[in-house]
Chain A
């Protein structure tokens, strides 16, 4: 029970922004929204997380809807190295396991 819904795959052109959506309509007030990505044959990599406010870091931006029932991961300028499976995960506490859904496979076209 991943509690999040993401498109199976998305395509984008290199050097263009990418908006990866995630629906989490049953989110509770204490759930943090996490994003991870996994490149082929590698362990997952932390991307970003947030609770209510939009968040920015060197990798990406996270836009969280006002009702928190959806969020969008924004890669401002996609490169070929951003081709990966992106996972949107809800996590109530750092002591809780991450529950992995199927994620979105992002394909970057040169």
Chain B
């Protein structure tokens, strides 16, 4: 399967600061990137979908100005949580995709704690 990395694996930040999470698809050309978040004991919730070189499409209820997604290349996508608040504390997971690839791969996740 594809190798997907995320950095950092965990981060603690203060309320009001911004945090950038990197997702790298090491051996897979990700024309699409799905970003999820997962709160404790809950299932994954899709935040946004981005296609390489295009603006991301955000799910209802997800603020696009708060969660900035960049998908500038086929191997790298970033999610920036701006002006983070404690309620943004969650487990963020990226998932690269490409047409024709039915198996979906996932990053190991980034645990964000906002104090």
Contacts and interface: CB of A to CB of B under 8 A. Distances in A.
Interface of A: 32, 34, 36, 41-46, 49, 87, 91, 94-95, 97-103
Interface of B: 1, 4, 6, 32, 34, 43-46, 49, 91, 93, 95, 97-109, 111
Contacts of A97: 34, 46, 49
Given A34-B102, A95-B97, 16 more contacts: A41-B91, A41-B109, A43-B4, A44-B104, A87-B43, A94-B97, A94-B99, A94-B101, A95-B99, A97-B34, A97-B46, A98-B34, A98-B104, A99-B46, A102-B43, A103-B43
A43 B109 contact: yes
A7 to B, nearest CB: 15
Chain B binding surface, main DSSP class = loop
A49 B105 CA distance: 13
B32 to A, nearest CB: 7
A36 B44 CA distance: 12
B105 A95 contact: no
Given A41-B109, A42-B109, A43-B107, A94 B102 contact: yes
A32 B103 CA distance: 11
A46 B100 contact: no
22 contacts: A34-B104, A41-B109, A41-B111, A42-B109, A43-B95, A43-B106, A43-B108, A43-B109, A44-B93, A45-B106, A94-B98, A94-B100, A94-B101, A95-B32, A95-B97, A95-B99, A97-B49, A98-B34, A98-B104, A99-B46, A100-B43, A100-B44
Contact of A32 (B32, B91, B102, B106): B102
Contacts of B46: 97-99
Given A94-B99, A95-B32, A95-B97, A46 B105 contact: yes
Contacts of A95: 32, 97, 99
Given A97-B46, A103-B43, A44 B106 contact: yes
